[in-house]
Amino acid sequence: MNIGTASLKSGLPPKTIRYYEEIGLIRSDRRQNGYRDYSEKDVRRLHFVHRARDLGFSVEECRQLLSLYDDEARESSEVKAIAELKLGEIERKIAELTSLKKSLHHLVAHCHGDDRPDCPIIEGLAGRV
């Protein structure tokens, strides 16, 4: 199938598919006319990467996961270890964002938002609050 069909089936834009091919994450065959040719297996791999990226996995982590996906003798503990590391990263980011939200909420709550020049938000950003 051509890249347009692979795009529709995998949910990835053609530009992303070309990028993944360029970095060696996926491969396509070439027809005699030079056009890319994707199989159903290629589309399944593209969908796998799409889902993994949606879950926050980096390209390199996707490369590891694809390697495990292709390895029928894999141990699920290897896959779980990668997922647990990602989960820990996400939990740290959530904690960081929660802290940022709390700080910004505090600054906004203490700003009068009127025509006076004093502003707790400016003071907070300048490190004076």
Amino acid at 5: T
Query: What percentage of the chain exceeds 70 in pLDDT?
Result: 99
Q: What is the mean pLDDT of residues 55-63?
A: 96
At residue 69, does pLDDT exceed 70? Answer: yes
* Correct CATH for 1-74 of 1.25.10.10, 1.10.1660.10, 1.20.1260.10, 3.20.20.80: 1.10.1660.10
* pLDDT interval class at 88 (50, 70, 90): very high
CB-based burial of residue 98 (10 Å sphere; 0-12 exposed, 13-18 middle, 19+ buried)?
exposed
C-alpha span between 101 and 91 (Å, rounded): 15
Domain boundaries, the chain: 1-74, 80-129
At residue 29, does pLDDT exceed 80? Answer: yes
C-alpha span between 102 and 72 (Å, rounded): 46
CB-based burial of residue 71 (10 Å sphere; 0-12 exposed, 13-18 middle, 19+ buried)?
exposed
Cross-strand pairs, 30: 36
Put simply, whether the predicted model's pTM sits higher than 0.85 gets the answer no
